Amino acid sequence: GQNIDQPTEMTATEGAIVQINCTYQTSGFNGLFWYQQHAGEAPTFLSYNVLDGLEEKGRFSSFLSRSKGYSYLLLKELQMKDSASYLCAVPYGGATNKLIFGTGTLLAVQP
């Protein structure tokens, strides 16, 4: 079956680094997405990983290990505006545009 696990909440300090983990089970891997969602707003796309390894985009990086069914989002130089939920999502089994989302990790950045 399909399943995604993320921690429910995390707290970090402004200027620090935080790693948000995501583990998944899927039949037929076809990439993994990370989205950011501020309270009451729409999710916005952060990254898409389909190959193993780390992809860096400014302060945000995303890592994937397909053999371990594991990904993480790394946020550096944390800012107060990074306080948001971070959603991990994978396509349903096979090449499909249907996504299954994790419950999201609510990150609180403190001064």
Partner 1 sequence: DGGITQSPKYLFRKEGQNVTLSCEQNLNHDAMYWYRQDPGQGLRLIYYSQIVNDFQKGDIAEGYSVSREKKESFPLTVTSAQKNPTAFYLCASSQIVRTRTDTQYFGPGTRLTVL
Contacting residues toward partner 1, per CB under 8 A: 4, 8, 30-31, 33, 40-45, 48, 50, 87, 89, 91, 95-104
Cβ nearer to partner 1, comparing 37 with 83: 37
Q: Give me the least distance between CB of 87 and partner 1, in Å please.
A: 7
Cβ nearer to partner 1, comparing 45 with 111: 45
Q: Give the whole-angstrom CA distance, residue 36 versus residue 17.
A: 16
Q: Give me the least distance between CB of 28 and partner 1, in Å please.
A: 11
Cβ nearer to partner 1, comparing 21 with 30: 30
Q: Give me the least distance between CB of 14 and partner 1, in Å please.
A: 26
Concatenated DSSP letters for 94-109? SS-S-EEE---EEEEE
Write out 32-94 in H/E/C secondary structure.
EEEEEECCCCCCEEEEEECCCEEEEECCEEEEEECCCCEEEEEECCCCHHHCEEEEEEEECCC
Q: Which one-letter amino acid corresponds to residue 29?
A: F
Q: Give me the least distance between CB of 50 and partner 1, in Å please.
A: 7
